[in-house]
Amino acid sequence: MGSYRVCMCFTRKFRVTEAEPTQDVKEVFKRYAGDGGTHMNAEQLRRFLVEVQGEPADSAGEAAEAIVRQILQKRHHIAKLTRQALALEDFHHYLFSTELNPPIHHKVHHDMTAPLSHYYIFTGHNSYLTGNQLTSNCSDVPIIKALKKGVRVIELDIWPNSTKDDVLVLHGRTVTTPVELIKCLKSIKEHAFIASPFPLIITLEDHLTSDLQAKVAQMLTQTFGEMLFCPESDCLSEFPSPEDLKHRVIISTKPPKEYLEAQNSLDKGNNSQKEKDSDEDVWGKEPSSLTAYEEDEDKIDVEVTDPDNSCDSKVYEPPVYKSLIAIHAGKPKGGIEEALKVEADKVRRLSLSEQALEKYAETHGADIVRSTQRNILRVYPKGTRFNSSNYKPQVGWLHGAQMVAFNMQGYGRSLWLMQGMFKANGGCGYVKKPDIFMDSNQLFDPKAEYSVKKTLKVKVYMGDGWHMDFKQTHFDAYSPPDFYTRIGIAGAPADEMMKKTKKKEDNWAPVWNEEFEFPLTVSEIAILRIEVHEYDMSEKDDFAGQTCLPVSESKPGIRAVPICDRKGEKYNSVRLLMRFEFV
């Protein structure tokens, strides 16, 4: 009996009550509700949707009726709608529903008819690695995961097997366990368009002889068939649009050496040491101890050699492989100026490491922006990120880089920002670059200080749902948690800041009611960062959830914000109630 009482006492300490509507919610309800402020019908809800939530007037009426119907059926199981109005608690339930009242748009709404170079594209780096860059297994599993998340660029490093008669995917000169290329290709075909109908780009880091390139060409054509986009001309003069390339697979890599004018067989090995030195300086080569992990198809030149002359009879085969390459990559001769040159009759892809981008951003920022209006720039993590960590994506985005390549298994704040960016435009993996990056007459200068265009006001009302998704003792063995919220902006340097609410002690459904203002100079690429932590006096504060939202997609009004775990997976129940307003 005694132990039973202890149990009851323990339970009481952790008792959870349903979150009460905040004062703001009560006032809004009273303002729009009829019947002396006790109930809100569909017409009154429609007015609220238009005037407070900023919903389009032409569709708000239908939306209001659907909301009233769904809420009453869910909360009161009223099938015949004998009462066609919401009480305060029903209205609060609607506001706190992440499905009915989301903070951002969920549909593709950007213009998808511009060339590919006009879009930020959700891009993976070493997409086949299950963990770190040196010892983890290579597999098609992380590729499938990335495709399900909406990633639109998959990178495969392709190498000969030990007998030189087949092609493997692995991280070169490391002890990563390889996976067969054909297995990766089949998984890509099966999952390519699950999350998005827009084109799937495969970037190949090619370390093959010409006969194996021919084998890859055969694999690609047999696996993808008509899904494979093959350009009609030798080199594209402009990239097609995502709309034109729906459900197509695009190959991007360096064309075979035999067909590059600067690298034909006659002048192989004739470059002067001076040219080599300047080349390494331009492309930001790592110290020799790191070069094994700096592999990139645009950085490391792998000679196509054939010591046994076994490929002499296969001179005809590389053209087939070359004809499948729609987006030509390559490291041009000369310095960065040559690499950033914009040509009227030719478009291409350039790759820079994160350090090289930072270096050239200092001296050639405007040139990079100009180049990315027509050409594609891919930025990839530096080779010392052995643990698959990531870098700040904003540097690339501010310079118009379309492919900011990330280790999708490298969970952390940088990846949260990447996931936040690509929640935009219905999560389709393509986000139209803002007009300021596409104006060729007045080039955007990433280093310039711009005036504030708009201010985002955010009010953090409350949070709820932790008691559903976490064990009662997860945060504290003896009392309810002490939650606080960190909120801020990631974007242009002038816009970046973080603020936080006070902590609310011993409450599973904390109410903060705190408002913050964020002045924005480049609101177009600003990401709203939201993190919830549980205060711990003696140790590091506990993580209690996070999300990142593209400011450009934020819906005004009172919104339910779903909260995610460290990997970016949505919790079942945890959410915040917030208000967004642009002034």
Residue 539 has a pLDDT of 85
Can you state the angle between helices 141-148 and 181-191, rounded to 10 degrees?
20
Residue 279 has a pLDDT of 36
Identity of the amino acid at 449: E
The domain limits of the chain are 16-95, 116-258+275-303+313-437, 454-582
Residue that has been written with the tokens 């996070």 in this structure: 546
Identity of the amino acid at 48: F
- Spatial distance between the Cα atoms of 421 and 527, rounded to a whole number of angstroms: 7
Nearest residue to 444 (alpha-carbon basis) of 400, 496, 403, 404: 400
Identity of the amino acid at 97: S
Task: Using DSSP bridges, classify how beta strands 557-564 and 153-160 pair: parallel, antiparallel or unpaired.
Answer: unpaired
Give the CA distances from residue 408 to residues 168, 294, 305, 306, 356, in Å, rounded to whole numbers and listed in that order.
21, 18, 34, 36, 21
Model-level pTM? 0.89
Fold for domain 16-95?
Recoverin; domain 1 (1.10.238)
Backbone dihedral region of 352: left (phi > 0), alpha (psi from -120 to 50 degrees) or beta? beta
- Spatial distance between the Cα atoms of 68 and 290, rounded to a whole number of angstroms: 61
Residue 164 has a pLDDT of 95
**Structure tokens, 302:** 């792998």
Fold for domain 454-582?
Immunoglobulin-like (2.60.40)
- Spatial distance between the Cα atoms of 435 and 575, rounded to a whole number of angstroms: 33
Identity of the amino acid at 461: Y
Residues with catalytic roles: 125, 171
DSSP reduced 3-state for 399 = coil
Residue 79 has a pLDDT of 56
- Local mean pLDDT, 10-residue blocks, the chain (583 residues): 45 61 95 87 96 95 94 78 83 96 95 98 97 96 98 98 96 93 98 98 95 96 97 90 98 79 43 36 37 40 36 54 94 86 94 96 95 98 94 97 96 96 98 96 93 97 96 90 97 97 95 98 97 92 97 97 97 98 95
Torsion of CA 447, 451, 457, 458, to 10 degrees: 0
C-beta of residue 100 within 8 angstroms of C-beta of residue 49: no
C-beta of residue 146 within 8 angstroms of C-beta of residue 198: no
For the domain made up of 116-258+275-303+313-437, the CATH class stated in words is alpha beta
Q: How far is CA 296 from the centre of its chain?
A: 21
Residue 81 has a pLDDT of 54
**Structure tokens, 363:** 């001296």
